[in-house]
Structure 1
Amino acid sequence: MKVFTIPVTPFMQNCRVIACDLTGKAAIVDPGGDAEKILAVVKEKKLQVEFVLLTHGHLDHVGVSKVISQSLDVEIIGPHIDDKFWLDELPMQAQMFGFAPHTAFLPNRWLSEGEVVKLGELKLQVRHCPGHTPGHVVFYEPASATVLVGDVLFKGSVGRTDFPKGDAAQLKHAIETKLFTLGDETRVMSGHGEDTTIGYEKRNNPFMSGRFG
């Protein structure tokens, strides 16, 4: 699996363009802003984008999803339906975070625990990991031992839970049961900051060890 990382928005959110090595088919994960930068990478790498994937409904992860979808004539898939209220409230989110005005939209398809999204020869396993938001999902690609986690887990930290319908206990449970059950070598690609591994976070993450939070 090829991965191209494009930091977008003033929050430096890691939009990822993932592609199947064998077929060149690609997906854009969490296009939060700067559509022109994302589309330029797609064009430069000659990628055949099949769909947009969303981990959750926060503006810095979804902000240009509709623009990308319309520009490339592809569907938007995800997150889990429990994040519908976040997508409905995109105009409010834009105002709250000082972004340009955004209109609400809904994906073409919601995702649920246990689904598999196929991208060429890649099989992305969907794991529902609520806590940061109630409908947050992550995408695990077993062949490359890579998991795209949005804002669930960061290097040395975890996602905030002080937003509406956030839940710290729920988030910790999701990490323990949906992420820490993966192999220690699994590469963790977070929505902000640098990559990490499951093993590193098991050993060092203070929020999961009980040292903080």
Structure 2
Amino acid sequence: MKFTILPVTPYQQNCSLIWCEATGRAALIDPGGDIDRLLAAVERQGVTLEKLLLTHGHLDHVGAAGILSLRLGLPIEGPHREDDFLFDSLPQQSAMFGFPYTEPFQPSRWLSDGDRISLGNETLEVIHCPGHTPGHIVFFHRGQRLAFVGDVLFKGSIGRTDFPRGDYDSLIGSIRNKLWPLGDDVEFVPGHGLMSSFGAERRDNPFVGDNA
């Protein structure tokens, strides 16, 4: 599987374009905005966009998903149904954070822990990791040792838990009990900022490192 990271909007959240190299089938993970830039990246790679994947329901990660889905006829998969309330509140979120007005929408498929996402010949595993939001999920490619973790974990930090229905203890448990067992060699793409590895964060992260 190939991927490229596309920071979008003034919040510079990471949208990831991923694709199966053998088939050219592609998906966007967390398309938060800047639709023209995202579609230009798809065209530049010469791939066929077939679905949109969402880690959680915060506006900066889903802001372009509804429009892309309607414009291109694409299914939206994820997050977990526990984030349903966030999709209903997208107009309020857009006013609160200064984003363009965003219509409420619903994913085509809610995802649960243990589900699988197919993309050409590639498969992503779904891991439910509540805490930042109650329905937050992580996409994991086991063969490539690569995870797309949204706002669960960052290089040197962790996701905020002061938003509605955030929970600090759940977030710490998600990271330590669901992500760390995947292996220190797993690299991850966070929702914001630079990539890192689980091993590096276990060593150095002041919030969830082994010495924290």
Cα distance in structure 2, aligned partners of 1:50 and 1:31: 13
Residue 110 of structure 1 corresponds to 110
- Deviation per residue, 1:16-52 (Å, 9 max, x gap): 0000111111111000000000001111111111100
Taking the TM superposition and a 5 Å limit, the aligned residue runs for 1:169-184 are: 169-184=169-184
- Deviation per residue, 1:54-75 (Å, 9 max, x gap): 0000000000101211232210
Gap runs ≥5 in structure 2:
none
Post-superposition offset of 1:178: 1.2
RMSD: 1.2
- Aligned letter for 1:140? F
Q: Normalising by the residue count of structure 1, what TM-score does the alignment of the two structures yield?
A: 0.97
Post-superposition offset of 1:194: 0.2
- Deviation per residue, 1:87-115 (Å, 9 max, x gap): 10000000100111111000111000000
CA gap of 1:47–1:139, structure 2 versus 1, over 3 A, is same
Residue 44 of structure 1 corresponds to 44
Tell me which stretches of 4 or more aligned residues in structure 1 moved more than 4 Å: none
Q: Normalising by the residue count of structure 2, what TM-score does the alignment of the two structures yield?
A: 0.97
Residue 206 of structure 1 corresponds to 206
Residue 18 of structure 1 corresponds to 18
Residue 167 of structure 2 corresponds to 167
Name the SS of the counterpart of 1:117 in structure 2.
strand
The answer on 1:197 being equivalent to 2:202 is no
Cα distance in structure 2, aligned partners of 1:170 and 1:193: 23
CA gap of 1:130–1:124, structure 2 versus 1, over 3 A, is same
- Aligned letter for 1:128? H
Residue 186 of structure 1 corresponds to 186
- Aligned letter for 2:3? V
Residue 82 of structure 1 corresponds to 82
